[in-house]
Chain A
């Protein structure tokens, strides 16, 4: 079932990319990034059946980094919301030329 799990992982990653490209809500954009991280985790675990346990160890690291990223990212979202009163990424355009 390794190949099938890799298929599922690829489809989930593409759905995450689709969300990042189309959505303008900062929170949902973060959720799509989490979805992509999860898709990569699935492929790590599938391949750890072939290449030993280090894939599973790496998934642990990915989970930790995802937790740290969520904490800092959501703090940034709160900070941006205080400043602009919105989480609409289409309306946060200070750095746009």
Chain B
């Protein structure tokens, strides 16, 4: 691991964390969505640096490209502004939430720190990065793959039924 690798690893890590903090604190939903896209891109870079090239590309396509576009689309559709939602500003809730999150982070960091992770056991990615994933996906996990396709079908139908106004929704409600 050279200096170039280390510097860029920490660069993208810092970008992800700062963007996540910015997302959590934005009042405007569109600004929050764009900061989240920033997190997704930084994470895609980290995936590539960890040897998961295909998943880095999938992250950009699926998360930054599709899911976040749907989020922004819904924000625009509902025409939400900055002042439509009264954020809870009571100090007690904010302090309790911050303490909980900090405790969770401290516990997770301590747990990771106490684990023996030897860098000697690293599996090297030799050449084609995609065929091991495809082999595992279409042999060991074939049933899960097929069930996932059914899940997507159910999600599509469910989204249409839930969001559609009129006959279908009335039938479901009654």
A residues adjacent to B (C-beta < 8 A): 1-8, 10-19, 21-25, 27-28, 30-32, 34-35, 38, 41-42, 45-46, 48-50, 52-54, 56-57, 59-61, 63-72, 74-79, 81-82, 86-88, 90-91
Contacts and interface: CB of A to CB of B under 8 A. Distances in A.
A45 B50 contact: yes
A50 B116 CA distance: 12
B39 A35 contact: yes
A50 B132 contact: no
B46 A5 contact: yes
Contacts of A59: 52, 55
A88 B144 contact: no
Contacts of A17: 100-101, 104
A77 B70 contact: no
Contacts of A25: 29, 80, 85, 87
A65 B121 CA distance: 31
24 contacts: A5-B46, A12-B39, A16-B20, A16-B24, A18-B24, A21-B100, A22-B24, A22-B93, A22-B94, A27-B71, A27-B75, A31-B71, A35-B20, A38-B40, A38-B43, A45-B55, A48-B50, A49-B50, A61-B144, A69-B155, A74-B70, A75-B161, A87-B85, A90-B88
Given A18-B24, A38-B63, A13 B17 contact: no
A86 B54 CA distance: 39
Closest 7 CB pairs of A and B: A68-B155, A10-B108, A21-B97, A14-B105, A18-B101, A75-B162, A19-B24
Interface in B54-92: 54-55, 58-59, 62-63, 66-67, 70-71, 74-75, 77-78, 80, 84-88
Contacts of A42: 43, 46-47
B110 to A, nearest CB: 10
